[in-house]
A and B are shown apart, each in its own frame.
Chain A
C-alpha cells in the first residue's frame, strides 16, 4: 500500500496549480459559485462564461490536459490518476476543466469508434475546439434510458432524426450533440439504440433553455425535427448504442468536482474562525466544531473512493462498483455539506449573491439549491445503489 503521489505527480499538481492561478481572471472567485457535485452551477455551462471557457479549453488543449487519461498514441498521458489530480486542482478553483467532449465522447470513440471517427474527432476534442452536449434523457426516459423514443430512421447515407431530449446540460453553448436514438423500435430492450454525433447547427434542431432552481440556465429541452445525420457520425455499431453509453459512464463518474468540496470546507473553517457568535468565535462552539469535523471526514472518504477509482482504471480494471459508489457518495455529500453549511451560517445562509451581508459571496444559498441536482442527475442515487447491489455485489434482479 502507498497513499502518496509520485514526485512526477506532485510536480504535475503544482503545474496545474500555477496554471489555475495565472489563467483564471482576477475576479474569478467572486464570479464562480460552483457547488461541489452539483449540476446546476457548473461554470462551464453558463452562457456568461462561454467566451472565457472557449479560450480556456484551447489553452488546456495546448497543454495536453484535456486528454490526460487517454492513451499516449492519441496524445494522452495514459494516467487517470493525473487526470484526477488535474480535476481536483481545477475544481478547487471552481474552474471549468473537462466536459462531455473529453470525459465521455473522447473515451467512447477511443473504445468503440472506427478509425475514421477517431481521426476526425479525437484531435479536435484534444485541442479543445469543440464541445458536446449529452443527448440521453427524454421526458419519458430518465432512469430508464432504454425507453427513449427519439427515432433515427435509415435513409441511405444518413439517418433522419425526430424526437425530444431534455435535461440537456450545456446544449445551448455546445457545438455538437452526443445523441442516443432508437434505430430499431422492434428490437428487445437495450438492443435497438444507436449513438450518433449531431451538429448543433443542423436544420431542424430547436434548443430551449430551462432555468434551474438556482436561477441559472444550465440545461435545455431539445427538439429534433427531421434532422439529417450523416452515417459517418455513427459511434460504434448500429443498435449497440446502449452498451457504448454504459461503457463510458464510468469516466463521467470521476467528475464530482472533488476539489470544490475541499474549498467549501476551507472557507467554512475560515468563516467559523472569523465570526463572533454569542460572545465567542463560532469556531469554539462544540456543535459547529463537530459539524465541520464530520464534513472533513466525509470529504476525506470521498477522496479515498476518488483515488481508488482512478487507480483501478489505471490498472486496466472496470471499477463498476467503485465508480457508482463515488458518484453516489459524492453527490449525497454535496447535499450534506450544503445542509451543514447552512446550519453554520445560520440566518446569513439565506442571503444571495450580491448582498453586501452575504457570507462566502452567497455561495451557500446557491449551493443549497444546487445540491438537489447531484443525486438526481447522471444516474440517480437509486440507480447507483441498484448498480452497486446487482452488478457490484451480485444480488439477484428477480
Chain B
C-alpha cells in the first residue's frame, strides 16, 4: 500500500496550482461563465506549453506518456481553481477515445495536434433522452457507397462551438442489442448539415445542441471498427466520470479551505465562529466527505492506470463524489451565511458546479445501480 503521490505528481499538482492561481483568477472564471469572454487562446497556448493536453498521450504521438492517475491529479487542481475551458472535453472526449480505438493513421493524424493544443475535439454522445444507455442512441449513420450520412440530434455536447472535430456516436444498424451496432465517427466540425446551438446552463459551461442533418462522412472517418463503438463509449464514460470526480473533489477542497479561513476570521458573540461546535462539526463532516470520495477516486484511477478493471470503483467514486460535493458546498454556504448568497461572493460558482457535476455523467442512483449489478444483484 502506498497512499503517497509520486514526486512527479506532487510537482505536477504544485505547478498547476501556481500556474492557475496566476493565470486563471476568479474574475476570468466569472467573465467566461457570464459569456462576456471566450476561453483566452493565449491561456490555452500556455496550458499546451505545460503539456496538459498531451499529458496522457504517448511520446510517439507527441505527448508526455503520463498515466491516467497523473491526469486525475492535474484535474483536482483544475477543479480547485474552477478553471473553465475545453481542456476536459479535448483530453477526455477527444484524445482518450482516439488513443483507445483509433487506427495508427488516425492517431498520427489527430493526437500530436491535440497534444500541441492546435486541434480540439469533443464527443457528441448524449441525446435529448439525456441517458447513457446504448438504446438511447438514435442519431443514425446510413451507409451510401464509400460514405455515411449522419442524421439526428445530440444534446449536452461540451464545447462543441469551438471544437475542430466532433466524435459522433451513431447507430450503424438495427439490432436487438443496440450496443452491437454503434459506431463512432470523426466528423470535421461546421461542415454543411451541422447546426450548433449553445445551451444556457447553470455553470455557463458551453454545452450545446448539435443537429446533424444529412451530414456526409467518408467511411475512413469511423473511429476504430464499425459497430464496435459502444465498448469505447463505456470506457470513455468511466474515464470521464473519474476526471469529473477529480474536478469535483478539487472544488470541494476549495470550498472547505475558503470556509476554514472564514470561520477562523469571522467573529460573532465575541469569538470566531469556527470555535462553535456546530461549525466544527460541519468541518469534520466536510473533511470526511471529501477524503472519502478522494480515496475512491484515487483507487479507481490507480486501477485504470494499472490496467485493472475499475468498473465497480468508478461507479462508487462517481456516485459518492457528486453527492459529497453538493453536501460540502451546502455546508460552505451555511458557514458563509448571507454574503455567500451574493453574486459578489465566489460560493455560487462552486454551488453551480457541485450540482452540474453530480448531474452529468450519471447521478448517484445511476452509478449505485451499476454497483448493484457488480455486487451480483
Contact = CB atoms under 8 A, between A and B. Distances in A.
B295 interface: yes
B88 interface: no
A259 to B, nearest CB: 17
Nearest to A390: B280
A1 B316 contact: no
Given A273-B376, A388-B287, A395-B274, A301 B264 contact: no
B287 A325 contact: yes
Interface of A: 1-5, 81, 265, 269, 272-273, 283-284, 286, 288-290, 292-294, 296-297, 300-301, 304-305, 307-308, 311-312, 321, 325, 328-329, 382, 384-386, 388-390, 392-393, 395-398
B285 interface: yes
A13 B148 CA distance: 56
13 contacts: A1-B5, A1-B6, A3-B303, A269-B376, A283-B377, A290-B369, A293-B372, A294-B368, A296-B371, A305-B292, A308-B295, A325-B287, A382-B281
Given A301-B320, A385-B281, A392-B287, A293 B369 contact: yes
A76 B56 CA distance: 43
Given A4-B1, A289-B368, A396-B264, A325 B377 contact: no
A316 to B, nearest CB: 14
A290 B366 CA distance: 9
A4 B281 CA distance: 33
A325 B288 contact: yes
B295 A304 contact: yes
Contacts of B264: 395-396
B302 interface: yes
Given A3-B1, A325-B287, A301 B376 contact: no
B1 A2 contact: yes
Contacts of B292: 301, 304-305, 329
Interface of B: 1-6, 69, 260, 263-264, 271-272, 274-275, 277, 279-281, 283-285, 287-288, 291-292, 295-296, 298-299, 302-303, 313, 316, 319-320, 365, 368-369, 371-372, 375-377
Contacts of B279: 395
Contacts of B316: 296-297, 300
Given A289-B372, A290-B365, A395-B274, A1 B302 contact: yes
Chain A contact residues: helix, strand, loop or mixed? helix
B3 A321 contact: no
B277 A300 contact: no
Most buried by A among B1, B3, B291, B302: B1
Contacts of B3: 1, 307-308, 311-312
Contacts of A385: 277, 280-281, 284-285
Contacts of B302: 1-3
Nearest to A265: B375
A167 to B, nearest CB: 23
A389 B1 contact: no
A297 B368 contact: yes
A185 to B, nearest CB: 28
Contacts of B277: 382, 385-386
A398 B313 CA distance: 41
B296 A304 contact: yes
Nearest to A321: B287
Contact of B275 (A392, A393, A395): A395
A395 B285 contact: no
A386 B281 CA distance: 7
B333 to A, nearest CB: 18
Contacts of B375: 265, 269, 292-293, 296
A184 to B, nearest CB: 29
Q: Which 7 A-B pairs have the closest CB atoms?
A: A304-B295, A389-B280, A385-B284, A289-B372, A293-B371, A293-B368, A388-B284
Nearest to A389: B280
Contacts of B303: 3
Contacts of A289: 368-369, 372, 377
A283 B263 CA distance: 46
A75 to B, nearest CB: 24
A392 B274 CA distance: 13
Most buried by A among B260, B271, B284, B369: B284
Contacts of B287: 321, 325, 388, 392-393
Contacts of A293: 319, 368-369, 371-372, 375, 377
A7 to B, nearest CB: 13
Given A1-B2, A386-B284, A388-B283, 8 more contacts: A272-B377, A286-B369, A293-B377, A297-B316, A297-B320, A300-B316, A389-B283, A395-B283
Nearest to A387: B284
A284 B376 CA distance: 11
B1 A300 contact: no
Nearest to A332: B288
Nearest to A307: B1
A5 B271 CA distance: 47
Nearest to B376: A269
Contacts of A388: 280, 283-284, 287-288
A1 B73 CA distance: 12
A5 B1 contact: yes
A301 B261 CA distance: 27
Contacts of B295: 301, 304-305, 308
